């Protein structure tokens, strides 16, 4: 089985460097491929980081949004690199050394759905309730009706049915959750988290997020 890893990048080199380090230190299967998809970064440090290692690189001439970067990255991995499963990782996130192996193991048991390594229970600013509440808890995973788009792993069938149709606009991840809920499908999330979100600012304009998603069990 071949794994594809898509890392979406836009500026913030101090976070991107930590993401890269965690990814390269993580245990990976024998057959894997990585692509960095840059959303029009112009900072010299970010551009330098993009070219530090000899991996696949997609560089867009202008900023078109993370949804566009993900579509280009997923399509490249599934259609050009012939990957069986693909995972994404935002460039302001890090993954544990055993994170990839954990996600692949969960996928081997739950290939009919989407797997994530990021369990956040941060309250919504409006309702004060957890943004992505747990439905059920098990020894090594949780089930959820919704998750954020920082990290997902899936096969091509799940990608084409639930994710690809929504990668044409912002808030794509919430719309993916709505599609899953319509089919009464639950997300599988590792217990504990193997992915952590480092960014507390938006990549666009440096705007602070309200109650940024973080995993307290990382």
Per the prediction, the chain carries an average pLDDT of 93
Predicted pLDDT at 53: 83
Q: pLDDT tens, 63-106?
A: 999 999 999 999 999 999 999 999 999 999 999 999 999 999 99
Q: What is the mean pLDDT of residues 137-143?
A: 98
Q: What is the mean pLDDT of residues 41-58?
A: 94
Domain layout of the chain by residue ranges: 3-197
> pTM here?
0.94
More confidently predicted of 182 and 213: 182
Predicted pLDDT at 202: 46
Predicted pLDDT at 210: 59
Long-range contacts of 18-21 (CB under 8 A, 24+ apart): 18/94, 18/198, 19/89, 19/90, 19/91, 19/92, 19/93, 19/94, 19/198, 20/49, 20/52, 20/53, 21/94
Task: Domain 3-197: give its CATH code.
Answer: 3.90.550.10
Q: What is the mean pLDDT of residues 161-173?
A: 96
**What is d(CA 155, CA 83) in angstroms, rounded to the nearest whole number?**
9
Residue 126 contacts residue 53 (beta carbons within 8 Å): no
């Amino acid at each position: 089985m071949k794994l594809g890893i898509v890392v979406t990048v836009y500026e913030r080199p101090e976070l991107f460097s930590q993401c890269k380090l965690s990814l390269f230190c993580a245990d990976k299967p024998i057959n894997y491929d990585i692509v960095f998809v840059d959303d029009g970064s112009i900072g010299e440090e970010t551009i330098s980081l993009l070219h530090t290692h000899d991996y696949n690189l997609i560089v867009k001439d202008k900023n078109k949004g993370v949804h566009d970067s993900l579509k280009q990255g997923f399509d490249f991995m599934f259609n050009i690199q012939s990957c069986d499963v693909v995972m994404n990782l935002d460039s302001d996130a890090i993954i544990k050394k055993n994170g990839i192996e954990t996600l692949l193991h969960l996928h081997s048991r739950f290939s009919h759905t989407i797997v994530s390594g990021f369990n956040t229970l941060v309250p919504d600013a409006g309702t004060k309730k957890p943004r992505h509440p747990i439905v059920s808890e098990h020894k090594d995973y949780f089930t959820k009706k919704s998750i954020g788009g920082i990290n997902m792993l899936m096969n091509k069938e799940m990608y084409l049915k639930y994710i690809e149709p929504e990668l044409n606009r912002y808030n794509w991840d919430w719309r993916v959750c709505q599609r899953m809920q319509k089919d009464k499908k639950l997300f599988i999330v590792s217990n504990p988290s193997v992915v952590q979100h480092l960014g507390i600012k938006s990549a666009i304009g440096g705007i602070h997020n309200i109650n940024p998603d973080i995993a307290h069990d990382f």
